[in-house]
Amino acid sequence: MATDLFYKTIAELGCLLETKAISSAELTQAVIARTKAVDGKIKAFNSFDEADALAQAGASDRRRAAGDARGILDGIPIGLKDVISAAGQPLTASSRMLANFVSPYDATVTARLKGAGAVIWGRLNCDEFAMGSSTENSAFGPTANPWDFSRVPGGSSGGSSAALAAGEAIATLGSDTGGSIRQPAALCGVLGLKPTYGLVSRYGLIAFASSLDQIGPLTRTAEDAAIMLGAIAGHDPLDSTSFKTDLPDYRAEATTRRGPWRLGIPKEYFGAGLDPEVNAAVEQAIAFYRGHGCEIKEVSLPHTQYCLDTYYIIATAEASSNLARYDGIRYGHRSKDATDALDIYFKSRAEGFGAEVKRRIILGTYVLSSGYYDAFYLRAQKVRTLIRQDFLNAYKEVDALLTPTSPMPAFKIGEKSDPLALYLCDIYTIGVNLAGLPALSVPCGFTGGGLPIGLQLIGRPFDEANLLAMAHTYEQAHGWSRRCPVL
Amino acid sequence: MSTAPDLDIEHVAKLARLALTAEEKATFSAQLGDVLHHIEQLAKVDVTGVEPTAHAFPLVNVWAEDVARSGLSAEAALRNAPVQRDHMVVVPKVVE
Amino acid sequence: MNYEAVIGLEVHVQVKTNSKVFTRVAAGYGQPPNTLTDPVVLALPGTLPVMNKAALDAIIKAGLMLGCEIAPVCKWDRKNYFYPDSPKNYQISQYDQPICVGGSVEIELPGAARNVMGEHRRVPLARIHLEEDVGKLNHFATESLVDYNRAGTPLMEIVSDPAMHSAEEAYAYLTSLRATMIYGGISDCDMEKGQLRCDANISIRPVGETKLGTKVELKNLNSISFVRDGIAHEIKRQVAVLERGGALVQETRDYDGQAGTSQSLRSKEMAHDYRYFPDPDLMPVKVDDAWKSRIKGECPELPFAKQRRFFETYQLPYTLTSVLVWDRELADYFESAVKIVGTGKAQAVGNWIVNDLLRELGQAHVGVTETKVSPAHLAELVELIDAGAILSSGAKEIFIEMFATSDAPSAIADRKGLRAAATDSGELEQWCRDAIAANAKAVAEFKAGKDSAINALKGPVMKASKGKADPKLVDATLRRLLAS
Ligand SMILES: [Mg+2]
Ligand SMILES: [Zn+2]
Q: Are residues A31 and A171 in the same domain?
A: yes
Q: Which residues of chain C neighbour B64 with C-beta distances below 8 Å? A: 24, 50-53
Q: Are C12 and C197 in contact (CB under 8 A)?
A: yes
Taking the Cβ of residue C70 and every Cβ of chain B, the question of whether any pair is shorter than 8 Å is answered with no
Of the partner residues A313, A320, A418, the one whose CB lies closest to the CB of residue B16: A320
Q: Are C202 and C170 in contact (CB under 8 A)?
A: no
CATH (domain of A231): 3.90.1300.10
Can you give the pLDDT at residue C270? 55
Q: Residue A238 has what DSSP assignment? A: T
Please answer yes or no on whether B32 and A363 come within 8 Å at the CB atom.
Answer: yes
First-to-last alpha carbon distance for chain B, in angstroms, is 41
Taking the Cβ of residue B92 and every Cβ of chain C, the question of whether any pair is shorter than 8 Å is answered with yes
Whether residue B21 has pLDDT greater than 70: yes
pLDDT in tens, A7-64: 999 999 999 999 999 999 999 999 999 999 999 999 999 999 999 999 999 999 999 9
Q: Are residues C66 and C168 in the same domain?
A: yes
Q: Are residues A30 and A135 in the same domain?
A: yes
Q: Are A157 and A218 in contact (CB under 8 A)?
A: yes
A77-88 b/e with 16+ CB inside 10 Å = b? bbbbbbbbbbbe
Q: Are residues A261 and A312 in the same domain?
A: no
Whether residue A445 has pLDDT greater than 90: yes
Q: Which residues of chain A neighbour C45 with C-beta distances below 8 Å? A: 83, 85, 91, 93, 98, 101, 103, 206-207, 325-326
pLDDT in tens, A453-466: 999 999 999 999 99
pLDDT-based confidence at residue A403 (cuts at 50, 70, 90)? very high
Domain residue ranges of chain B, discontinuous segments joined by +: 9-43
Q: Are residues A75 and A194 in the same domain?
A: yes
Q: Are residues A420 and A342 in the same domain?
A: no
Can you give the pLDDT at residue A425? 86
- pTM for this predicted structure: 0.91
Find the A181 Cα to ligand 1 centroid distance in Å. Answer: 8
Of the partner residues B60, B62, B74, the one whose CB lies closest to the CB of residue C35: B74
Which range of residues forms the domain containing residue C307?
Answer: 303-416
How far apart CA A378 and CA C259 sit, in angstroms, is 48
For residue C432, count CB atoms less than 10 angstroms from its CB and return exposed for 0-12, middle for 13-18, buried for 19 or more: buried
DSSP states along C212-260? ----EEEE---SHHHHHHHHHHHHHHHHHHHHTT-----EEEEEETTTT
Find the C468 Cα to ligand 1 centroid distance in Å. Answer: 95
Taking the Cβ of residue B3 and every Cβ of chain A, the question of whether any pair is shorter than 8 Å is answered with no
Residue A105 lies in a domain: yes
Which range of residues forms the domain containing residue A356?
Answer: 304-377
Taking the Cβ of residue B28 and every Cβ of chain A, the question of whether any pair is shorter than 8 Å is answered with yes
Last residue of a domain, one of C294, C313, C346: C294
Q: Are C13 and C183 in contact (CB under 8 A)?
A: no
Find the C300 Cα to ligand 1 centroid distance in Å. Answer: 55
**Predicted ipTM of the assembly:** 0.97
Q: Are residues A53 and A196 in the same domain?
A: yes
pLDDT in tens, C266-304: 655 456 899 999 999 999 999 999 999 999 999 999 999
How far apart CA C141 and CA C259 sit, in angstroms, is 21
Residue A282 lies in a domain: no
Taking the Cβ of residue B54 and every Cβ of chain C, the question of whether any pair is shorter than 8 Å is answered with yes
pLDDT-based confidence at residue C1 (cuts at 50, 70, 90)? confident
Please, which chains are in contact with B (at least 3 CB pairs closer than 8 A)?
Answer: A, C
Strands A400-404 and A262-266: parallel
How far apart CA C105 and CA C128 sit, in angstroms, is 12
Q: Are residues A47 and A92 in the same domain?
A: yes
How far apart CA C426 and CA C106 sit, in angstroms, is 59
Q: Are residues C38 and C7 in the same domain?
A: yes
Nearby residues of C346 by Cβ (< 8 Å), 6 or more positions away? C313, C314, C315, C316, C334, C338
Mutation target among B17, B88, B94 for the C interface, most CBs of C within 10 A:
B88
Can you give the pLDDT at residue B3? 46
Please answer yes or no on whether B66 and C280 come within 8 Å at the CB atom.
Answer: no
Q: Are residues C37 and C141 in the same domain?
A: yes
Task: Name the residue of chain C whose CA is nearest to B84's CA.
Answer: C145
Classify C43 as helix, strand or coil.
coil
Q: Which residues of chain C neighbour A203 with C-beta distances below 8 Å? A: 46-48
First-to-last alpha carbon distance for chain A, in angstroms, is 12
How far apart CA C267 and CA C261 sit, in angstroms, is 18
Mutation target among C23, C29, C36, C145 for the B interface, most CBs of B within 10 A:
C145
Ligand nearest to the CA of C158: 2
Of the partner residues A313, A365, A380, the one whose CB lies closest to the CB of residue B15: A365
- Phi and psi at A446, nearest 5°, equal -135, 150
Find the C175 Cα to ligand 1 centroid distance in Å. Answer: 56
Find the C126 Cα to ligand 2 centroid distance in Å. Answer: 14
Whether residue C386 has pLDDT greater than 90: no
Return the sign of the alpha-carbon dihedral for residues C216, C222, C228, C234: negative
Q: Are residues C143 and C181 in the same domain?
A: yes
Angle at A468 between CA A462 and CA A474, to 5 degrees: 145
Residue A354 lies in a domain: yes
Q: Which helix (H) or strand (E) holds C445?
A: helix C440-447
How many structural domains comprise chain C? 3
Taking the Cβ of residue A239 and every Cβ of chain C, the question of whether any pair is shorter than 8 Å is answered with yes
Q: Are residues C268 and C401 in the same domain?
A: no
How far apart CA A369 and CA A377 sit, in angstroms, is 10
Taking the Cβ of residue B12 and every Cβ of chain C, the question of whether any pair is shorter than 8 Å is answered with no
Helix axes C425-438, C471-483, angle to 10 degrees: 60
How far apart CA A106 and CA A122 sit, in angstroms, is 14
Q: Are residues C431 and C409 in the same domain?
A: no
How far apart CA A40 and CA A166 sit, in angstroms, is 12
Q: Are residues C36 and C168 in the same domain?
A: yes
Last residue of a domain, one of C241, C267, C294: C294
Whether residue A479 has pLDDT greater than 80: yes
Listed residues: CB within 5 A of ion ligand 2: C 157
Taking the Cβ of residue B53 and every Cβ of chain C, the question of whether any pair is shorter than 8 Å is answered with no
Task: Name the residue of chain A whose CA is nearest to B49's CA.
Answer: A382
How far apart CA C44 and CA C52 sit, in angstroms, is 20
Find the C262 Cα to ligand 1 centroid distance in Å. Answer: 54
Strands A452-459 and C104-108: unpaired
Find the C12 Cα to ligand 2 centroid distance in Å. Answer: 6
Q: Are residues A174 and A235 in the same domain?
A: yes
How far apart CA C417 and CA C394 sit, in angstroms, is 9
Ligand nearest to the CA of A429: 1
- Please state, for a pLDDT cut of 90, what percent of chain C lies above it: 81
Please, which chains are in contact with C (at least 3 CB pairs closer than 8 A)?
Answer: A, B
How many structural domains comprise chain A? 2
Can you give the pLDDT at residue B5? 57
Please list the active-site residues of A. 81, 156, 180
Chain C residues within 8 A (CB-CB) of chain A?
A: 39, 42-51, 78, 80, 82, 84, 87-90, 144, 146, 148, 273, 275-277, 280-283
Helix, strand, coil share of chain C (percent; to 5): 40, 20, 35
Please answer yes or no on whether B57 and A243 come within 8 Å at the CB atom.
Answer: yes
Q: In C140-181, where do the E strands start and end?
A: 143-147, 154-160
Strand partners, C263: C254
How far apart CA A354 and CA A364 sit, in angstroms, is 15
Please answer yes or no on whether A349 and B9 come within 8 Å at the CB atom.
Answer: no
Ranges of H-type helices in B1-96 = 9-15, 22-39, 74-77
pLDDT in tens, C408-463: 999 998 888 787 765 566 788 888 999 999 999 999 999 998 888 998 898 888 88
Please answer yes or no on whether B52 and A385 come within 8 Å at the CB atom.
Answer: yes
Q: Are residues A251 and A352 in the same domain?
A: no
CA-nearest of A376, A328, A324, A366 to A210 is A324
Angle at C209 between CA C204 and CA C210, to 5 degrees: 95
AA letter at A49: D
DSSP states along C333-345? HHHHHHHHH-GGG
Nearby residues of C216 by Cβ (< 8 Å), 6 or more positions away? C201, C202, C203, C234, C238, C248, C250, C251, C252, C253
Can you give the pLDDT at residue C124? 98
- Please state, for a pLDDT cut of 70, what percent of chain A lies above it: 100
Ligand nearest to the CA of C199: 2
Q: Are residues A230 and A344 in the same domain?
A: no
Q: Are residues C212 and C322 in the same domain?
A: no
pLDDT, averaged across chain B? 91
Mutation target among A308, A337, A363 for the B interface, most CBs of B within 10 A:
A363
For residue A5, count CB atoms less than 10 angstroms from its CB and return exposed for 0-12, middle for 13-18, buried for 19 or more: buried
Q: Are A8 and A225 in contact (CB under 8 A)?
A: no
Q: Are residues C87 and C145 in the same domain?
A: yes
Q: Are residues A95 and A231 in the same domain?
A: yes
Angle at C441 between CA C437 and CA C446, to 5 degrees: 95
Q: Are residues A441 and A361 in the same domain?
A: no
How far apart CA A235 and CA A250 sit, in angstroms, is 16
